[in-house]
Amino acid sequence: MKTTRRGFVKTVGLGTAAGLLTSNTFLGGAAQAQTRHAHKTGIYDGGVMQLNQNESARGPGPKTLEAVHAHVSKRMGRGYSPDHVNELQEGIAAYYNVDTANVQLATGSTPLLQGAVRAFCSTEKRFVTPMPTYSTSEATARQINAPITHLDLDSSMAIDLNTLAEAGRGAALIYFCNPNNPTGTVHGPEAVEQFVRRVMRESPQTRIHIDEAYINYARPGAMKTALPLALEFENVFITRSFSKAHGLAGMRIGYALGQESTLRDIRSAWGMGDVNMLGAIAALTALEDHEHIEWEAQENARVRDFTIAAFRDMGFQVPDSNTNHIFVNLGRPAREFREACLQEKILVGRDFPPLQNSHCRISLGSMEEMQQAVEVFRKVLA
């Protein structure tokens, strides 16, 4: 399937990123000054450093910004059949060499996580999740009063795939976040394949959701996508997000890959939202900008190595991370650390039960932010 580039040539460009940021039509004087300050220091929102949500500290790459700016036009007045959304679906399908029917777009991957639980679980149909992991699916299972099995991590802070397969027997849906949020741990392709084949053999009715939101941040060779398994088994599907390494959290775009009937079940159960034309053009450009994603992964790894080394140097245990966040064993409640950091105008992660009394998740900012933050961490943990 071919991706077309009609939209790129027919829309009138309005200027470069820098031009737009300094244009009076877009921002008033005070806002301009704040934006310039924020761009320089990386510090937004009234001087509070945001290390509490796993977004991208660096935002989208220059090609993506340019593509968005080039599409800011009067055409934005049209959008009930928005331009570029079909192109995005076709572009994703072409990128993975699958059919468009194997791709489900959504406004961020969140509606897909919610839709999957609503499609496959119920008061009689059980949901299985490791703890701690990303909690949207579990929260949805709670909302619909589905029975939930919670599983502890293994001693290395990784998801225990044997326990997960055992607990998954007879369950309706297993949520498996790889790499895992908040721990940053990852499972390699052989382990994932063994796990999926075991569940499909022992419990063929069970669905497996593999959430690969952080795949672009995984250490080289640490993992592979489970897409081939999702194409082989109707009951396996994966989700991806443009909110992480692609730097587009504010554009709200995610997608699922899997068999057509599975994706139909998910979108029938819950609204997937409407992807907008600027988001679509941004995502399409970001998807294909391999150079930028590679740079982003390397920069994140540099910041991650620096931050992990600082905590280990202070004597704290941190598992190797394959994401843009780290999970530190501080040996004290996350709340205490959070409150002390907030006094210093740094936000760090929320509680992650059952480890809220020992561990805290810290999202990685830019190198400049982390250099400042580490000084604060040394002070509050002294």
Q: Does 178 bind ligand PLP (CB under 6 A)?
A: no
Among 11, 64, 89, 110, binds ligand PLP (CB under 6 A): 110
Shortest CB 118 distance to ligand PLP, Å: 16
- Should residue 211 be labelled a site residue for ligand PLP when binding is judged by CB under 6 A? yes
The window from 23-31, 105-113, 298-306, 333-341 that contacts ligand PLP (CB under 6 A) reads 105-113
The reply to whether 140 sits near ligand PLP by the rule CB under 6 A is: no
Residues 231-250 that bind ligand PLP (CB under 6 A): 241, 243, 249
Q: How many residues bind ligand PLP (CB under 6 A)?
A: 13
Instruction: Give CA–CA dist 270/264, Å, rounded.
Output: 10
Interaction between residue 186 and ligand PLP (CB under 6 A): no
Minimum separation from the CB atom of position 254 to ligand PLP (A): 4
Q: Pick between residue 49 and residue 106 the one whose CB is nearest to ligand PLP.
A: 106
Residues 25-84 that bind ligand PLP (CB under 6 A): 54
Smallest distance from ligand PLP to CB 11, Å: 26
Q: Which is nearer to ligand PLP, 70 or 334 (CB)?
A: 334
Comparing CB distances to ligand PLP, the nearer of 167 and 275 is 275
Q: Does 177 bind ligand PLP (CB under 6 A)?
A: yes
- How distant, in Å, are the alpha carbons of 94, 262, 334 from that of 239? 17, 12, 29
> Min. distance of Cβ 248 from ligand PLP in angstroms?
9
Shortest reach from residue 137's CB to ligand PLP, in Å = 9
Footprint on residues 333-372 left by ligand PLP (CB under 6 A): none
Q: How far is the CB of 350 from ligand PLP (least distance, A)?
A: 11
Q: Does 213 bind ligand PLP (CB under 6 A)?
A: yes
**320, 328, 378 from 309: Cα distances, Å:** 10, 11, 12
Q: Is 134 in the site for ligand PLP (CB under 6 A)?
A: yes
Residue closest to ligand PLP when measured from CB atoms: 108
Of 60, 132, 254, 279, the one binding ligand PLP (CB under 6 A) is 254
Contact 350, 339 (CB under 8 A): no
In this structure, are residues 51 and 345 in contact, taking their beta carbons and an 8 Å threshold? no
Segment interacting with ligand PLP (CB under 6 A) among 108-116, 197-205, 292-300, 366-374 = 108-116
Among 42, 82, 108, 279, binds ligand PLP (CB under 6 A): 108
Residue 10 beta carbon to ligand PLP: minimum distance, rounded to whole angstroms: 29
Q: What does the binding site for ligand PLP look like in residue numbers (CB under 6 A)?
A: 54, 108-110, 134, 177, 181, 211, 213, 241, 243, 249, 254
